[in-house]
Amino acid sequence: MREAREKKFVLCVRNDECEDLELRKVYQVLPDKKASQDGYLRIIDESGEDYLYPESYFVPVSMSLRAQNALLVAR
């Protein structure tokens, strides 16, 4: 069971026509049930804002809470 404070992260593997996504970069996913039902993820991209991107552009990444916190502080 995942802890409530644990965040979800994904690795970008495609960025077709998306200037705000970098290949091979890890991005935070924000919860959005409607978007996920439609095949999209809500991602905080390079602009610092959250937008919907096709789920197929990403693969899930598992990491420790310590690694998650390090990523979030680095933003």
pTM above 0.75, yes or no: yes
Instruction: Give the model's pLDDT for residue 7.
Output: 79
CATH code of 57's domain: 2.30.30
Q: Give the number of domains in the chain.
A: 1
Name the residue among 13, 8, 23 with its Cα closest to residue 63. Answer: 8
Residue 3 lies in a domain: no
Pick the closest to residue 15 from 37, 36, 46 (CA basis): 46
In a domain, 1, yes or no: no
- Average pLDDT, stretch 59-72? 86
Give residue 2's identity as a one-letter amino acid code: R
Domain extent, residue 37, equals 8-74
User: Is 33 inside any structural domain?
Assistant: yes
Q: What is the pLDDT of residues 20-53, one digit of tens each?
A: 999 999 999 999 999 999 999 999 988 889 999 9
